Structure 1
Amino acid sequence: MEPNIFNNYRDWLEHEKMPKGKKAALVAAMELFSETGFDGTSTVQVAEKAGISQATIFKYFHTKQDLMLAIVKPVMEHFFPAYRDEFFHGISEQETLPEMVKFIVTDRYHFIKGNEEAVKILAMEMMTNEEMRQLVGKLAMANGFNFPVELMNDFQRTGQLRDDIDVAALLRIFVGQLLTYVIESSFAPSLIKGEQEDLKLITNQIVRTISK
């Protein structure tokens, strides 16, 4: 079963020692961000859902952005390494380049769909917050694990990767294909033939692009 980022965060928060009002604000914000997105949620709505005053929210968080960051940072620090390790364990079990591509496309698509709002929030933070970009870079290479190098090593061990494809190209190709498909499924569903058929098509396209 794919991990649900917000559920993981809720479980983590339950065991954290912090003022009741602060915890209530975080839980309410997490639920509202999940339901209506960051832009569609106001601090007034968070306060109402949490059963606290808006002044209490601003006592702990100067802005709505700070409130969101208080959710995002623990997710990245506590859960990202486990998600990363599980992902690479799955890659290591694939023997050929087509098998590897199929696993990545299927696994990451279901991860994104299972955590759509959380991924959207994380992506927005990555684009607008330098602190978050630095944190992601640090975690990608935490505990002696270099995400880009490991990904490249896995593809190169198949002996089927084109010599002119580097890790930056790999990431652009996978991210571009998957995000385009997720956007299409959300905003242009008429273009979608069927999840299984479309993921197979994406897999084949990537294999043709990066294999010798």
Structure 2
Amino acid sequence: MTSDILLSYADRLQNESMPPGKKKTLLAAVTLFAQQGFNGTSTAQLAQTAGVSQAAIFKYFKTKDDILQSILEQSLPYLIQDFISELSQYSALTDIIHFTVFNRFAFIKQNQEIIKIIFQELLVNPNLKTFIKSNFDNPTFSGQLKLFIEQLAANNPQFNKKLTLAEIIRIWVANLGSYFFQRFVLDIPTEDETADLTLIEQQIMTLLSS
């Protein structure tokens, strides 16, 4: 599973069973949506970049919104749901934090265009907000996450048991999200990525400890 999680969107798409023109459209959409925004991208631009006709695009997708939803439906399980099962092999808080920081950053680095789209569209696209919230509210995912937090608290006395689930998620997302924004949205280079991620580990450990 880990090797699948760390594949880029383009790599995963190659394994999907769908017409070549649909794959080309999705790949073009990821590139253009990340570069110039969803609203700033026309279907004519999509067709030109993908090397297909606009008629072909609307054969595969009813609307441009359907293209965005298809991209996210194929990506979010790898970002959110499937990742939780990977954590079951760890019990110590330090190991969990280390694995999460380095594994999730490897994923978002490989899929930075997808993450850029999410960052951009969350501010202006209410449908995307609803879609992402529904993934977090998915009973299977939320149940797995709650069970994981309960086991984490039971196995690690230093873990702050007063933290709510929302607070725990915010600690992880705020630290990794801000670093992603710095690196790949603002394009601020780093002298030592490993040192940066190690510092993020330490910050998360401090925030999660009582």
What is the deviation of 1:205?
1.4
Other-structure match for 2:202: 204
2:28 and 2:46 in contact (8 A); partners too: yes
Q: Which structure 1 residue ranges, 4+ long, deviate > 6 Å from structure 2? A: 20-23, 58-62
Unpaired runs of at least 5, structure 2: none
The count of residues paired between Structure 1 and Structure 2 equals: 202
Aligned to 1:96: 92
Q: Distance in 1 between matches of 2:175 and 2:49?
A: 37
1:38 paired residue number: 37
- 1:48-75 residue CA offsets vs partner (Å, 9 max, x unmatched): 233445576578768xxx42x3233234
Q: Distance in 2 between matches of 1:193 and 1:51?
A: 39
Query: Hey, what does 1:139 align to over in structure 2?
Result: 135
In the aligned structure 2, how far is the partner of 1:102 from the partner of 1:37?
34
Identity %: 29
Q: Normalising by structure 1, report the TM-score.
A: 0.74
- Within a 5 Å distance, the mapping from 1:29-68 to structure 2 comes to 29-33=29-33, 36-38=35-37, 41-54=41-54, 66-67=63-64
1:195 matched to 2:199? The reply is: no
Between the aligned partners of 1:9 and 1:113, the Cα distance in structure 2 is 17
SS in structure 2 of the partner of residue 185 of structure 1: helix
User: How does the TM-score come out when normalised to structure 2?
Assistant: 0.75
Other-structure match for 2:8: 4
Query: Which residue of structure 1 aligns with residue 103 of structure 2?
Result: 107
Match of 2:124 among 121, 128, 143: 128
Unaligned 5+ segments in structure 1 are: none
Deviations 1:12-45 (A, max 9, x none): 3x426xxx876654453345446x3536744333
Shift of the 162–52 alpha-carbon distance from structure 1 to 2, 3 Å rule, reads closer
Instruction: Give 1:152 shift.
Output: 2.8
Residue type at the aligned position of 2:85? H
Judge conservation of contact 1:177–1:202 (CA < 8 Å) in 2. yes
Cα distance between partner residues in 2 of 1:31 and 1:188: 17
